[in-house]
Amino acid sequence: MSGDVGARWHDVPVTRVAAIDCGTNSIRLLVADVDPAAGTLVDIERSNEVVRLGQGVDRTGLLAPDALARTLDAARRYHQVCRRLGVEAVRFVATSATRDARNRDEFVSGVREALGVDPEVVAGDEEARLSFRGATGVLAGRFDAPFLVVDLGGGSTELVLGTGAPEAAVSMDVGSVRLTERHLHDDPPSAGQLAAASHDVRQALDAAAQVVPLGRAVTLVGLAGSVTTLTAHALGLDRYDRTRIDGAVLGVDDVLGSCEDMLARTREQRAALPYLHPGRVDVIGAGALVWRDVVRRVRDEVDAAGGALTHVVTSEHDILDGIAWSIAER
Inform me whether the pLDDT recorded for 63 exceeds 60.
Answer: yes
Quick: pLDDT tens for 216-227: 999 999 998 899
Q: What is the CATH number of domain 5-122?
A: 3.30.420.40
96: CB partners within 8 A, 6+ apart: 23, 24, 54, 124, 127, 153, 154, 155, 156, 171, 173, 175, 178
Quick: pLDDT tens for 133-184: 888 877 767 888 899 999 998 888 989 999 988 899 998 989 998 999 899 9
What does the pLDDT read at residue 112? 92
Inform me whether the pLDDT recorded for 269 exceeds 70.
Answer: yes
pLDDT band for position 75 (cuts 50, 70, 90):
very high
pLDDT band for position 9 (cuts 50, 70, 90):
very low
pLDDT band for position 20 (cuts 50, 70, 90):
very high
Is 115 within 8 Å of 79 (Cβ atoms)?
yes
The full set of domain ranges for the chain reads: 5-122, 140-319
Is 131 within 8 Å of 156 (Cβ atoms)?
no
State residue 121 phi and psi, 5-degree precision. Answer: -85, 95
d(Cα 162, Cα 155) in Å, to the nearest integer? 23
d(Cα 183, Cα 172) in Å, to the nearest integer? 17
Which of 51, 12, 53, 48 lies closest to 30 in space, CA to CA?
A: 48
- CA distances 319 to 120, 135, 219, 221, 304, Å, are 14, 8, 18, 13, 30
Inform me whether the pLDDT recorded for 78 exceeds 60.
Answer: yes
106's enclosing H/E stretch is: helix 104-115
Give the mean pLDDT of 95-117: 83
What does the pLDDT read at residue 198? 96
What does the pLDDT read at residue 121? 82
- CA distances 47 to 44, 110, 289, Å, are 10, 20, 26
d(Cα 322, Cα 93) in Å, to the nearest integer? 11
List the single range of 50-59, 113-122, 304-313 with lowest mean pLDDT: 50-59
* Longest Cα–Cα distance in the chain: 55
Quick: pLDDT tens for 302-313: 999 999 999 999
What does the pLDDT read at residue 38? 77
What does the pLDDT read at residue 200? 96
* 5-122 and 140-319 agree in CATH topology: yes
What does the pLDDT read at residue 136? 84
Beta strands 249-251; 89-94: pairing state = unpaired
Inform me whether the pLDDT recorded for 5 exceeds 50.
Answer: no
Q: Is the peptide bond before 213 cis (omega within 30 degrees of 0)?
A: no
Give the mean pLDDT of 21-48: 87
What does the pLDDT read at residue 6? 46
Amino acid at 233: H
What does the pLDDT read at residue 127? 80
Which of 322, 282, 327 lies closest to 88 in space, CA to CA?
A: 327
Say whether domain 140-319 belongs to CATH 3.40.30.10: no
Beta strands 120-121; 89-94: pairing state = parallel
Which of 324, 229, 259 lies closest to 34 in space, CA to CA?
A: 324
Quick: pLDDT tens for 275-324: 998 889 999 999 999 999 999 999 999 999 999 999 999 998 888 999 99
Average pLDDT, the chain: 88
